[in-house]
Amino acid sequence: MAATPTAPGPIEGRCSYFVEKKNRFCRMVPAAGRRFCGEHAGAAGEENTRKRILCPLDPKHTVYEDQLEKHLKKCNSREKPKPDYFIQDINAGLKDETEILDEPVSTMIHYLI
């Protein structure tokens, strides 16, 4: 965690999450009985009933496990082409095949035996 916040403590009745980027506490109003707003409940580890998992389409962001199906339909990453490494793997395989075909005939015979 960051050094001691320079801002005063969380405002009464507001989200208790300290936003490092803004150097102050979140000002969102949480649901009754909650310390954190919906945005920060998961980040603060307060809400254990809902599990956040990495998005299978883009591990750079997370999604509630119970909303994964819904998320996958609108995820920003779903339109993107396959990752580069996937294509590279295919190319590597094709290259190997070509190299075998370019081998001298003697080797080809050896293969037949």
* Footprint of Zn ion (CB under 5 A): 15, 17, 26, 28, 37, 39-40, 55, 57-58, 75
Q: How far is the CB of 56 from Zn ion (least distance, A)?
A: 8
Nearer to Zn ion, 27 or 110 (CB): 27
Q: How far is the CB of 63 from Zn ion (least distance, A)?
A: 6
Backbone dihedral region of 33: left (phi > 0), alpha (psi from -120 to 50 degrees) or beta? left
Q: How many residues does the chain have?
A: 113
Q: How far is the CB of 67 from Zn ion (least distance, A)?
A: 10
- Phi, psi values for residue 100, rounded to 5°: -65, -40
Nearer to Zn ion, 73 or 95 (CB): 73
Between CA 69 and CA 93 the distance in angstroms is 34
Nearer to Zn ion, 53 or 108 (CB): 53
Cβ neighbours of 52 (radius 10 Å): 15
